[in-house]
Amino acid sequence: MEPLTHLDIIKRKIIDLNQLQHALYRWRFLSKKLVFTNGCFDILHLGHIDYLSKASDLGDILIVGVNSDASTSRLKGPHRPINNEEQRSILLAALHFIDAVIVFDDPTPLELIKMVRPDVLVKGSDYNLSNIVGADVVQSYNGQVKTIDFLPGYSTTLIEEKIISGKK
């Protein structure tokens, strides 16, 4: 049998709903503190890395929901995503502090949040508690909802504008 490549190992962190259910059972059995966040994560950049690493520090297991290509287009416009869902998922899964990546097609991650029942739900500080999808669900079982400040000067939109304008 061929040994697994690094890419094979990375891809194992990209899971479907059935695999997620099994992983959740195992993590709960081991009393792991689960952290969940979600986003498009198109053109992965330092701001994303900073945000996700800080989210990871809030618990034992970081689960990242990734908007599907269709969902990203609905949110960001027809010119997005730049990287497809498989590429975005692999880039995220390559980060050692991310334990699982799951692509979702719904307009919001609400159903995924209900399934995961994270101990900590994390979003960027551009959200306030009243508009974080799933905050009420997480708080209903005494979970925590946290926001993390973004690293100033980093966004996919800014990167896209730099590329288009040719500026450094």
**Separation CA 51–CA 140 (nearest Å):** 25
Closest CA to 14 of 83, 69, 60, 64: 64
Return the CATH number of the domain spanning residue range 6-165. 3.40.50.620
Question: What is the residue-wise DSSP string for 1-62?
Answer: -PPPPHHHHHHTTB--HHHHHHHHHHHHHTTPPEEEEEE---S--HHHHHHHHHHHTTSSEE
Percent of the chain with pLDDT over 90: 80
**Separation CA 39–CA 55 (nearest Å):** 13
Residue 167 pLDDT > 90:
no
Q: Is the Cβ–Cβ distance between 25 and 119 less than 8 Å?
A: no
Residue partners of 87: CB distance under 8 A and separation at least 6: none
**Separation CA 163–CA 28 (nearest Å):** 44
Task: Tell me what pLDDT residue 168 has.
Answer: 67
pLDDT digits (tens, 9 = 90+) for 5-62: 999 999 999 999 999 999 999 999 999 999 999 999 999 999 999 999 999 999 999 9
pLDDT digits (tens, 9 = 90+) for 57-72: 999 999 999 999 999 9
